[in-house]
Amino acid sequence: MATYKGAQVTNNTATPRVIGNSNDGLKVVVDYVNVSSTVATSDILELIEVPANAIPLSIKIRNTDLGSAVPAEIGLQYGNGCNVARGTVIDADEFDTDYAFGTASLTGVDIRYDTKGLETMGQTFWELGGLSSDPGGTLLIVATVGSVTSGTTGKIVAEVEYV
């Protein structure tokens, strides 16, 4: 009979013990963006700001009915406290390449693994973004609007669970 261990169990039972990322417990951040009738193609919607070294477990998007099909890429940009200017793009479609905000999604759609496979479980936001080191500070999860019909209004909510 064989015993198979996950990375955390392997690290905790190693001699000497390998200490991974600090786990102060599950954290949840929620924020929203009001989409006004002036939103246009290529506009950036800053959905939520997260610590660069956080490990995301879930990234849920909820939205009201925006009245028309509003496709968007959901990606990462540098936030506050990084060694790069806030708003600089890391990967424009890191989490979703063609998210549809058109119809209401009140229960939420988890996009954490839409473009990243399960092999990325346990990676930090900066690692998911393909950066070579932790930039410190925060990163922004943003939506870049594809095409939009004028007069589109509503609310987009982002909820991120991380350790």
Report domain extents, the chain: 22-162
**For residue range 63-110, what is the model confidence (pLDDT) as tens digits?**
998 766 678 999 999 999 998 999 999 999 999 998 888 778 888 899
Report the DSSP beta bridge partners of residue 50. Answer: 139
Question: For residue 18, what is the enclosing H or E element?
Answer: none
Look up the pTM and report it: 0.83
The 10 Å CB-count burial string (b at 16+, else e) for 90-99 is bebbbbbeeb
**For residue range 2-61, what is the model confidence (pLDDT) as tens digits?**
556 666 667 666 777 666 555 568 899 999 999 888 888 888 999 999 999 999 999 999
